[in-house]
Amino acid sequence: MLCYRINSSVNSDTATFYTPPYTPSACNGFKNDGVMIAAASNELWGNGAACGNNYKVKCLSGTNAGVPHPCKDNTDVVVTIVDFCSPGCQGTLDLSQEAFAKIADRNEGKINIDFQQV
């Protein structure tokens, strides 16, 4: 049996982060989904179809001059979509602070990323 990944191409955009509490979430209410999670912007949300999707995210660079080299070298993180980042969201993915900290300095606040559904 062959399996195909849908939307497995690499995309580039931006990511921000949000802080606890992570519940309730739009996907799972008060279920604890751990900390390697993210909220999807309108671009990915699909009226909730994004719930449970996993994305591999890699920091490319900062978006401002605040932190000279915000990305952690050759590091990526896999996050699960558990929430919706409402209109006005500042990034395509709004990562948990723990997921953001795995790939970048949180002092940057917003980073340029590559992301891919896995």
Q: pLDDT tens-digit profile of 31-70?
A: 999 999 999 999 899 999 999 999 999 999 999 877 788 9
Q: Minimal CA–CA distance to 106: which of 41, 19, 21?
A: 19
Confidence class for position 5, pLDDT limits 50, 70, 90: very low
For 89-106, what is the mean pLDDT?
94
pLDDT of residue 34: 97
Q: What percentage of residues in the chain have a pLDDT greater than 70?
A: 93
Residue 46 has which token pair?
A: 């699909």
Residues 77-101: b if buried by 16+ CB within 10 A, e if exposed: bebbbbbbbeeebebbbbbbebbbe
pLDDT tens for 58-69 read 999 999 877 788
pTM score over 0.85: yes
For 61-89, what is the mean pLDDT?
89
Confidence class for position 20, pLDDT limits 50, 70, 90: very high
